[in-house]
Amino acid sequence: MPGGWMAQKPGDKQYMDIAWEAVGKVNEDAKSNGLSNSALIPKKVLSAESQVVAGIKYEVLVEYVDSTCSIDTIPKKTTCREKSGNGKTYEYIVQKYERAWDNVNEITVSRP
């Protein structure tokens, strides 16, 4: 159906890339709500959908985990690792709206 949400393969790399794009906003939420003292990083994309509108909307359900980095840093793929032992997991819905032809790229995050 044109304009409807279409299920996507959550294992596709582009959805993990979206999860990493949202890491700053996820950590702002985690810090302001006292969820964690360490930075959260994406572990797994649980589901992904896309919708063609005046651009493309993505909605990705992501499992984030405590990392070895401080909540006060912006985690990078190359420097932060999943905390071993008693690290917790957190689910976030990441929404991305993209219009490539005029450089619109908006990310919002929420907890389910």
Q: pLDDT per residue over 29-59, tens digit each?
A: 999 999 998 999 999 999 999 999 989 999 9
Is the per-residue pLDDT at 1 higher than 60? no
Average pLDDT over residues 62-81: 88
pTM value is: 0.92
List CB contacts of 74: < 8 A, sequence separation 6 or more: 23, 24, 27, 39
User: Do 67 and 84 form a contact (C-beta atoms < 8 A)?
Assistant: no
Res. 2 pLDDT band, cuts 50 70 90: low
Lowest mean pLDDT, pick from 5-9, 14-18, 67-71, 90-94: 67-71
User: Do 35 and 75 form a contact (C-beta atoms < 8 A)?
Assistant: no
Residue given tokens 């690792």 in the structure block: 81
Q: What pLDDT score was predicted for residue 100?
A: 87
Domains along the chain? 6-110 (3.10.450.10)
